[in-house]
Amino acid sequence: MTIRYPNGKKFIPVQQTKLPKKSNPTFSNRGKSLEDELNETNEYYLSRQLAVIHKKPVPIQIVNVKYPARSAAVITEAYFKTPSTTDYNGVYNGIHLDFEAKETKNSTSFPLQNIHEHQMTHMKNVCVHGGLSFFIIKFTILDRYFLISYDSFEKYWVRMIEGGRKSVTIAEFEKDAIELKPGFNPRLDFLPALPKLH
Amino acid sequence: MTIRYPNGKKFIPVQQTKLPKKSNPTFSNRGKSLEDELNETNEYYLSRQLAVIHKKPVPIQIVNVKYPARSAAVITEAYFKTPSTTDYNGVYNGIHLDFEAKETKNSTSFPLQNIHEHQMTHMKNVCVHGGLSFFIIKFTILDRYFLISYDSFEKYWVRMIEGGRKSVTIAEFEKDAIELKPGFNPRLDFLPALPKLH
Protein backbone atom coordinates (compact mmCIF):
# COMPACT_ATOMS: atom_id res chain seq x y z
CA MET A 1 0.00 0.00 0.00
CA THR A 2 2.89 2.43 0.69
CA ILE A 3 5.29 3.62 -1.97
CA ARG A 4 8.85 4.48 -1.08
CA TYR A 5 10.32 7.34 -3.06
CA PRO A 6 14.02 7.40 -4.01
CA ASN A 7 14.74 9.81 -1.17
CA GLY A 8 13.74 7.04 1.23
CA LYS A 9 10.73 8.90 2.53
CA LYS A 10 7.45 7.08 2.79
CA PHE A 11 4.60 8.35 0.69
CA ILE A 12 1.99 9.75 3.02
CA PRO A 13 -1.48 10.18 1.56
CA VAL A 14 -2.89 13.69 1.58
CA GLN A 15 -5.51 13.14 4.24
CA GLN A 16 -2.78 12.14 6.69
CA THR A 17 -0.59 15.15 6.02
CA LYS A 18 -3.22 17.78 6.69
CA LEU A 19 -2.09 19.96 9.54
CA PRO A 20 -4.08 19.45 12.68
CA LYS A 21 -5.44 22.47 14.45
CA LYS A 22 -3.05 24.27 16.75
CA SER A 23 -0.06 22.47 15.29
CA ASN A 24 3.43 23.85 15.25
CA PRO A 25 4.49 23.32 11.66
CA THR A 26 8.18 23.85 12.34
CA PHE A 27 8.43 20.42 13.97
CA SER A 28 7.41 17.48 11.83
CA ASN A 29 4.77 15.36 13.55
CA ARG A 30 4.56 17.83 16.39
CA GLY A 31 0.97 18.72 16.88
CA LYS A 32 -0.31 15.47 15.41
CA SER A 33 -3.03 14.29 17.74
CA LEU A 34 -2.35 11.29 19.93
CA GLU A 35 -5.36 9.63 18.32
CA ASP A 36 -3.80 9.99 14.85
CA GLU A 37 -0.47 8.72 16.15
CA LEU A 38 -2.07 5.66 17.72
CA ASN A 39 -4.22 4.95 14.68
CA GLU A 40 -1.11 5.00 12.49
CA THR A 41 0.71 2.79 14.96
CA ASN A 42 -2.15 0.31 15.10
CA GLU A 43 -2.37 0.20 11.31
CA TYR A 44 1.35 -0.54 11.25
CA TYR A 45 0.91 -3.32 13.82
CA LEU A 46 -1.96 -4.84 11.87
CA SER A 47 -0.16 -4.64 8.53
CA ARG A 48 2.88 -6.40 10.05
CA GLN A 49 0.63 -8.89 11.84
CA LEU A 50 1.99 -7.83 15.22
CA ALA A 51 -1.31 -7.08 16.96
CA VAL A 52 -4.97 -6.39 16.23
CA ILE A 53 -5.92 -3.13 17.95
CA HIS A 54 -8.72 -0.77 16.96
CA LYS A 55 -10.13 2.46 18.26
CA LYS A 56 -13.77 2.11 19.19
CA PRO A 57 -16.22 4.44 17.46
CA VAL A 58 -17.38 7.43 19.49
CA PRO A 59 -20.66 6.52 21.19
CA ILE A 60 -23.56 8.50 19.77
CA GLN A 61 -27.21 8.71 20.73
CA ILE A 62 -29.09 8.84 17.44
CA VAL A 63 -32.39 10.72 17.61
CA ASN A 64 -33.38 11.31 14.00
CA VAL A 65 -32.50 9.63 10.72
CA LYS A 66 -33.76 10.56 7.26
CA TYR A 67 -33.87 8.10 4.40
CA PRO A 68 -33.73 10.11 1.18
CA ALA A 69 -34.69 8.19 -1.96
CA ARG A 70 -31.69 6.74 -3.84
CA SER A 71 -29.12 7.95 -1.35
CA ALA A 72 -27.60 7.01 1.96
CA ALA A 73 -29.46 7.43 5.25
CA VAL A 74 -28.62 10.76 6.91
CA ILE A 75 -28.50 11.18 10.66
CA THR A 76 -30.00 14.62 11.24
CA GLU A 77 -30.01 14.70 15.03
CA ALA A 78 -27.65 12.91 17.38
CA TYR A 79 -25.76 13.58 20.59
CA PHE A 80 -22.44 12.52 22.03
CA LYS A 81 -22.70 10.02 24.87
CA THR A 82 -20.22 9.64 27.70
CA PRO A 83 -18.07 6.61 26.93
CA SER A 84 -18.49 3.78 29.43
CA THR A 85 -15.39 1.89 28.35
CA THR A 86 -11.99 2.80 26.94
CA ASP A 87 -11.01 4.10 23.52
CA TYR A 88 -8.88 1.22 22.31
CA ASN A 89 -8.86 -2.51 22.62
CA GLY A 90 -7.60 -5.58 20.88
CA VAL A 91 -5.46 -8.66 21.14
CA TYR A 92 -1.71 -9.05 21.21
CA ASN A 93 0.08 -12.33 21.64
CA GLY A 94 -3.04 -13.91 23.15
CA ILE A 95 -3.50 -11.04 25.62
CA HIS A 96 -6.60 -8.88 25.68
CA LEU A 97 -5.53 -5.23 25.62
CA ASP A 98 -7.75 -2.39 26.76
CA PHE A 99 -6.44 1.13 27.06
CA GLU A 100 -7.30 4.78 27.21
CA ALA A 101 -5.25 7.46 25.48
CA LYS A 102 -5.26 11.05 26.68
CA GLU A 103 -3.29 14.14 25.91
CA THR A 104 -2.86 17.23 28.02
CA LYS A 105 -1.46 20.69 27.39
CA ASN A 106 -0.47 20.89 31.02
CA SER A 107 3.30 20.68 31.29
CA THR A 108 3.68 19.72 34.93
CA SER A 109 0.95 17.15 35.62
CA PHE A 110 -1.93 15.19 34.12
CA PRO A 111 -5.35 16.36 35.40
CA LEU A 112 -7.47 13.43 36.53
CA GLN A 113 -10.66 15.17 35.41
CA ASN A 114 -9.81 13.77 31.97
CA ILE A 115 -10.79 10.31 33.20
CA HIS A 116 -14.33 9.14 33.97
CA GLU A 117 -15.07 6.99 36.98
CA HIS A 118 -16.85 4.33 34.91
CA GLN A 119 -13.75 4.08 32.73
CA MET A 120 -11.73 3.29 35.85
CA THR A 121 -14.31 0.68 36.85
CA HIS A 122 -14.20 -0.83 33.39
CA MET A 123 -10.40 -1.02 33.38
CA LYS A 124 -10.37 -2.64 36.80
CA ASN A 125 -12.86 -5.24 35.53
CA VAL A 126 -10.64 -5.95 32.54
CA CYS A 127 -7.70 -6.62 34.87
CA VAL A 128 -9.83 -8.91 37.08
CA HIS A 129 -10.68 -11.02 34.02
CA GLY A 130 -7.10 -11.40 32.86
CA GLY A 131 -6.80 -8.55 30.38
CA LEU A 132 -4.09 -5.91 30.32
CA SER A 133 -5.34 -2.41 30.98
CA PHE A 134 -3.29 0.76 30.76
CA PHE A 135 -3.16 4.43 29.86
CA ILE A 136 -1.09 6.23 27.26
CA ILE A 137 -0.66 9.85 28.31
CA LYS A 138 0.83 12.51 26.06
CA PHE A 139 2.15 15.82 27.34
CA THR A 140 1.80 17.76 24.11
CA ILE A 141 3.91 20.77 25.07
CA LEU A 142 6.74 18.62 26.43
CA ASP A 143 6.36 16.09 23.57
CA ARG A 144 6.64 13.29 26.14
CA TYR A 145 4.59 10.08 26.21
CA PHE A 146 4.03 7.72 29.12
CA LEU A 147 2.47 4.29 29.30
CA ILE A 148 1.22 3.38 32.77
CA SER A 149 -0.63 0.26 33.88
CA TYR A 150 -4.06 0.53 35.40
CA ASP A 151 -2.65 -0.94 38.62
CA SER A 152 0.01 1.75 38.91
CA PHE A 153 -2.40 4.51 37.97
CA GLU A 154 -5.13 3.48 40.40
CA LYS A 155 -3.38 4.80 43.50
CA TYR A 156 -3.42 8.35 42.10
CA TRP A 157 -7.14 8.04 41.45
CA VAL A 158 -7.68 6.80 45.01
CA ARG A 159 -5.55 9.68 46.30
CA MET A 160 -7.88 12.15 44.55
CA ILE A 161 -11.01 10.43 45.84
CA GLU A 162 -9.59 10.58 49.35
CA GLY A 163 -9.20 14.34 49.00
CA GLY A 164 -5.64 14.54 47.71
CA ARG A 165 -4.29 16.18 44.59
CA LYS A 166 -6.38 16.01 41.43
CA SER A 167 -3.53 15.25 39.07
CA VAL A 168 -0.52 13.00 38.49
CA THR A 169 2.81 14.80 38.30
CA ILE A 170 5.50 14.29 35.70
CA ALA A 171 7.79 12.99 38.46
CA GLU A 172 5.19 10.38 39.35
CA PHE A 173 4.98 9.26 35.72
CA GLU A 174 8.79 9.09 35.62
CA LYS A 175 8.67 6.78 38.64
CA ASP A 176 5.66 4.57 37.79
CA ALA A 177 5.27 4.67 34.02
CA ILE A 178 7.30 3.64 31.01
CA GLU A 179 8.29 6.53 28.79
CA LEU A 180 7.60 5.98 25.10
CA LYS A 181 9.76 7.64 22.48
CA PRO A 182 7.93 8.67 19.31
CA GLY A 183 9.50 7.42 16.11
CA PHE A 184 8.80 7.38 12.44
CA ASN A 185 7.18 4.04 11.73
CA PRO A 186 5.61 2.91 13.94
CA ARG A 187 4.93 6.37 15.26
CA LEU A 188 4.53 5.34 18.90
CA ASP A 189 5.84 1.85 19.44
CA PHE A 190 4.11 0.81 22.67
CA LEU A 191 4.00 -3.00 22.33
CA PRO A 192 7.59 -3.48 23.62
CA ALA A 193 6.59 -1.72 26.85
CA LEU A 194 3.82 -4.19 27.69
CA PRO A 195 5.90 -7.07 29.05
CA LYS A 196 7.58 -4.55 31.41
CA LEU A 197 4.29 -3.43 32.97
CA HIS A 198 3.74 -3.98 36.65
CA MET B 1 -28.77 -3.39 41.90
CA THR B 2 -31.56 -5.92 41.31
CA ILE B 3 -34.42 -6.42 43.71
CA ARG B 4 -36.04 -9.81 44.07
CA TYR B 5 -39.75 -9.72 44.75
CA PRO B 6 -41.43 -12.35 46.97
CA ASN B 7 -42.65 -14.21 43.89
CA GLY B 8 -39.00 -14.87 43.05
CA LYS B 9 -39.07 -12.85 39.86
CA LYS B 10 -36.35 -10.37 39.21
CA PHE B 11 -37.29 -6.72 38.96
CA ILE B 12 -36.74 -5.58 35.40
CA PRO B 13 -36.52 -1.82 34.88
CA VAL B 14 -39.07 -0.31 32.52
CA GLN B 15 -36.70 0.42 29.69
CA GLN B 16 -35.86 -3.27 29.43
CA THR B 17 -39.46 -4.43 29.29
CA LYS B 18 -40.61 -2.20 26.45
CA LEU B 19 -41.82 -4.30 23.55
CA PRO B 20 -39.57 -4.16 20.54
CA LYS B 21 -41.07 -3.43 17.13
CA LYS B 22 -42.55 -6.39 15.29
CA SER B 23 -42.78 -8.37 18.47
CA ASN B 24 -45.32 -11.07 19.07
CA PRO B 25 -46.62 -10.23 22.52
CA THR B 26 -48.16 -13.67 23.05
CA PHE B 27 -44.70 -15.18 23.53
CA SER B 28 -42.59 -13.60 26.21
CA ASN B 29 -39.22 -12.48 24.86
CA ARG B 30 -40.15 -13.54 21.34
CA GLY B 31 -39.39 -10.73 19.00
CA LYS B 32 -36.79 -9.22 21.28
CA SER B 33 -33.85 -8.30 19.07
CA LEU B 34 -30.70 -10.37 19.32
CA GLU B 35 -28.85 -7.16 20.18
CA ASP B 36 -31.13 -6.56 23.18
CA GLU B 37 -30.77 -10.17 24.28
CA LEU B 38 -26.99 -10.01 24.09
CA ASN B 39 -26.82 -6.65 25.84
CA GLU B 40 -28.91 -8.07 28.70
CA THR B 41 -26.73 -11.17 28.82
CA ASN B 42 -23.53 -9.11 28.87
CA GLU B 43 -24.92 -6.91 31.64
CA TYR B 44 -25.69 -10.07 33.60
CA TYR B 45 -22.16 -11.39 33.02
CA LEU B 46 -20.63 -8.11 34.12
CA SER B 47 -22.83 -7.79 37.21
CA ARG B 48 -21.87 -11.36 38.27
CA GLN B 49 -18.21 -10.71 37.36
CA LEU B 50 -18.24 -13.54 34.84
CA ALA B 51 -16.94 -11.64 31.82
CA VAL B 52 -16.44 -8.10 30.50
CA ILE B 53 -18.11 -7.88 27.08
CA HIS B 54 -19.45 -4.75 25.40
CA LYS B 55 -21.09 -3.92 22.14
CA LYS B 56 -19.09 -1.43 20.15
CA PRO B 57 -20.81 1.79 19.16
CA VAL B 58 -22.06 1.99 15.58
CA PRO B 59 -19.40 3.71 13.49
CA ILE B 60 -20.56 7.11 12.27
CA GLN B 61 -19.02 9.67 9.97
CA ILE B 62 -19.78 13.02 11.54
CA VAL B 63 -20.07 15.89 9.06
CA ASN B 64 -21.70 18.72 10.98
CA VAL B 65 -21.95 19.58 14.66
CA LYS B 66 -23.68 22.57 16.19
CA TYR B 67 -22.76 23.97 19.58
CA PRO B 68 -25.82 25.78 20.92
CA ALA B 69 -25.15 28.09 23.86
CA ARG B 70 -25.80 26.43 27.25
CA SER B 71 -26.74 23.07 25.83
CA ALA B 72 -25.13 19.91 24.52
CA ALA B 73 -23.45 19.75 21.12
CA VAL B 74 -25.86 18.50 18.45
CA ILE B 75 -24.71 16.41 15.51
CA THR B 76 -26.81 17.70 12.61
CA GLU B 77 -25.34 15.69 9.77
CA ALA B 78 -23.74 12.28 9.96
CA TYR B 79 -23.68 9.02 8.02
CA PHE B 80 -23.43 5.36 8.89
CA LYS B 81 -20.09 3.79 8.06
CA THR B 82 -19.53 0.16 7.18
CA PRO B 83 -18.11 -1.54 10.27
CA SER B 84 -14.58 -2.86 9.78
CA THR B 85 -14.57 -5.05 12.86
CA THR B 86 -17.17 -7.02 14.80
CA ASP B 87 -20.02 -5.84 17.02
CA TYR B 88 -18.87 -7.29 20.33
CA ASN B 89 -15.65 -7.88 22.12
CA GLY B 90 -14.27 -8.31 25.57
CA VAL B 91 -12.37 -10.58 27.91
CA TYR B 92 -13.42 -13.81 29.58
CA ASN B 93 -11.16 -15.89 31.75
CA GLY B 94 -8.08 -14.27 30.24
CA ILE B 95 -9.28 -14.90 26.68
CA HIS B 96 -9.92 -12.11 24.21
CA LEU B 97 -13.40 -12.58 22.72
CA ASP B 98 -14.49 -11.02 19.45
CA PHE B 99 -17.79 -11.88 17.86
CA GLU B 100 -20.45 -10.86 15.43
CA ALA B 101 -24.16 -11.33 16.11
CA LYS B 102 -26.66 -11.57 13.28
CA GLU B 103 -30.29 -12.48 12.99
CA THR B 104 -32.20 -13.63 9.95
CA LYS B 105 -35.87 -14.08 9.14
CA ASN B 106 -34.94 -16.84 6.74
CA SER B 107 -36.04 -20.17 8.19
CA THR B 108 -33.90 -22.56 6.17
CA SER B 109 -30.47 -20.93 5.93
CA PHE B 110 -28.35 -17.92 6.93
CA PRO B 111 -27.56 -15.65 3.96
CA LEU B 112 -23.86 -14.79 3.85
CA GLN B 113 -24.59 -11.35 2.42
CA ASN B 114 -25.12 -10.35 6.07
CA ILE B 115 -21.37 -10.56 6.63
CA HIS B 116 -18.77 -8.15 5.23
CA GLU B 117 -15.48 -9.41 3.87
CA HIS B 118 -13.43 -7.08 6.11
CA GLN B 119 -15.25 -8.53 9.12
CA MET B 120 -14.07 -11.99 8.07
CA THR B 121 -10.53 -10.64 7.68
CA HIS B 122 -10.71 -9.03 11.10
CA MET B 123 -11.96 -12.22 12.75
CA LYS B 124 -9.22 -14.26 11.12
CA ASN B 125 -6.65 -11.79 12.44
CA VAL B 126 -8.10 -12.11 15.93
CA CYS B 127 -7.67 -15.89 15.76
CA VAL B 128 -4.09 -15.56 14.50
CA HIS B 129 -3.26 -13.42 17.55
CA GLY B 130 -4.73 -15.84 20.06
CA GLY B 131 -8.22 -14.44 20.50
CA LEU B 132 -11.45 -16.38 20.21
CA SER B 133 -13.65 -15.30 17.32
CA PHE B 134 -17.14 -16.56 16.61
CA PHE B 135 -20.64 -15.77 15.36
CA ILE B 136 -23.95 -15.91 17.15
CA ILE B 137 -26.71 -16.44 14.59
CA LYS B 138 -30.40 -16.18 15.44
CA PHE B 139 -33.14 -17.61 13.25
CA THR B 140 -35.94 -15.37 14.45
CA ILE B 141 -38.86 -17.32 12.99
CA LEU B 142 -37.56 -20.64 14.29
CA ASP B 143 -36.46 -19.07 17.60
CA ARG B 144 -33.18 -20.99 17.31
CA TYR B 145 -29.71 -19.67 18.16
CA PHE B 146 -26.34 -21.03 17.05
CA LEU B 147 -22.82 -20.19 18.12
CA ILE B 148 -20.19 -21.11 15.54
CA SER B 149 -16.45 -20.52 15.66
CA TYR B 150 -14.79 -18.46 12.98
CA ASP B 151 -12.79 -21.51 11.99
CA SER B 152 -15.90 -23.60 11.41
CA PHE B 153 -17.70 -20.80 9.63
CA GLU B 154 -14.85 -19.94 7.28
CA LYS B 155 -15.36 -22.91 4.98
CA TYR B 156 -18.86 -21.73 4.10
CA TRP B 157 -17.49 -18.32 3.24
CA VAL B 158 -14.83 -19.93 1.06
CA ARG B 159 -17.50 -22.07 -0.58
CA MET B 160 -19.40 -18.92 -1.56
CA ILE B 161 -16.27 -17.18 -2.87
CA GLU B 162 -15.52 -20.25 -4.97
CA GLY B 163 -18.95 -19.96 -6.57
CA GLY B 164 -20.94 -22.23 -4.27
CA ARG B 165 -24.09 -21.49 -2.29
CA LYS B 166 -24.45 -18.07 -0.72
CA SER B 167 -25.83 -19.26 2.59
CA VAL B 168 -25.28 -21.69 5.45
CA THR B 169 -28.10 -24.18 5.98
CA ILE B 170 -29.73 -25.08 9.27
CA ALA B 171 -28.38 -28.64 8.84
CA GLU B 172 -24.86 -27.21 8.55
CA PHE B 173 -25.33 -25.21 11.74
CA GLU B 174 -26.63 -28.35 13.46
CA LYS B 175 -23.45 -30.14 12.41
CA ASP B 176 -20.82 -27.41 13.00
CA ALA B 177 -22.28 -25.03 15.58
CA ILE B 178 -23.38 -25.23 19.19
CA GLU B 179 -27.07 -24.55 19.65
CA LEU B 180 -27.85 -22.04 22.41
CA LYS B 181 -31.11 -22.25 24.33
CA PRO B 182 -32.57 -18.91 25.38
CA GLY B 183 -33.39 -18.62 29.04
CA PHE B 184 -34.58 -16.07 31.51
CA ASN B 185 -31.48 -14.71 33.15
CA PRO B 186 -29.06 -14.70 31.48
CA ARG B 187 -31.18 -14.46 28.38
CA LEU B 188 -28.69 -16.19 26.09
CA ASP B 189 -26.02 -17.96 28.10
CA PHE B 190 -23.21 -18.38 25.58
CA LEU B 191 -20.13 -18.52 27.82
CA PRO B 192 -20.53 -22.27 28.59
CA ALA B 193 -20.31 -22.98 24.85
CA LEU B 194 -16.90 -21.37 24.43
CA PRO B 195 -14.71 -24.17 25.82
CA LYS B 196 -16.47 -26.57 23.40
CA LEU B 197 -15.55 -24.56 20.32
CA HIS B 198 -13.42 -26.14 17.66
Question: HEC states along B137-181?
Answer: EEECCCCEEEEEEHHHHHHHHHHHHCCCCCEEEHHHHHHHCEEEC
Cβ neighbours for B192, distance < 8 A, ≥ 6 positions apart: none
Q: Which residues pair with B167 in a beta bridge?
A: B111
Q: Do A80 and B73 touch (CB under 8 A)?
A: yes
Q: Distance between CA atoms of A144 and B144, rounded to whole angstroms?
A: 53
Question: Would the pTM count as exceeding 0.80?
Answer: yes
- pLDDT score recorded for residue B31: 67
**Minimal Cβ distance to A74: which of B46, B52, B77:** B77
Beta strands in chain B (DSSP E): 52-55, 60-66, 74-80, 88-92, 95-104, 109-111, 132-139, 144-149, 167-169, 178-180
Q: How confident is the model over B15-32, as pLDDT tens digits?
A: 444 444 444 444 455 568
pLDDT of residue B29: 54
Report the residue of A43, A45, A91 to disrupt the B interface, i.e. the one with the largest count of B CBs within 10 Å: A91
pLDDT at residue number B19 = 41
Please tell me the predicted confidence (pLDDT) of residue B84. Answer: 86
CB B73 to CB A85 under 8 A? no
Residue of B74, B91, B97 to mutate for A, most A C-beta atoms under 10 A? B91
Nearest CA in chain B to A78: B75
**Average pLDDT per run of 10 along chain A, which is 198 residues long?**
48 42 47 92 97 95 92 94 92 97 97 94 97 98 97 98 97 98 95 91
CA nearest B116: which of B132, B102, B136, B137? B102
pLDDT, tens digit, for every residue of A128-171?
A: 999 999 999 999 999 999 999 999 999 999 999 999 999 999 99
CA distance A169 to A172: 5
In angstroms, the separation between the Cα of residue A197 and the nearest Cα of chain B is: 17
Q: How far is CA A54 from CA A34, A50, A90, B29, B47, in A?
A: 14, 13, 6, 34, 26
Would you say how long chain A is, in residues? 198
H helical segments located in A48-180: 117-128, 150-161, 170-176
A101-133: string of b/e by CB count within 10 Å (b at 16+)? bebbeeeebbebeebeeebbebbbbbbebebbb
Q: How far is CA A72 from CA A60, A78, A120, B66, in A?
A: 18, 17, 38, 21
Chain A: which residues have CB within 8 Å of chain B? 46, 49, 51-52, 54, 56-60, 62, 72-80, 84-85, 89-96, 98, 122, 125-126, 128-131
A60/B58 touch (CB, cutoff 8 Å), yes or no = yes
The distance of Cα B77 from the centroid of its chain, to the nearest Å, equals: 28
| CA–CA distance, A138 with A102 (Å, rounded to integer) | 6
Query: Averaged in consecutive runs of 10 residues, what is the pLDDT profile of chain B (198 residues)?
Result: 48 43 47 92 97 95 92 94 92 97 97 94 97 98 97 98 97 98 95 90
Distance from C-alpha of B68 to C-alpha of B74, rounded to nearest angstrom? 8
Predicted local distance difference test score (pLDDT) of residue B38: 98
State ipTM: 0.81
Report pLDDT for A141.
95
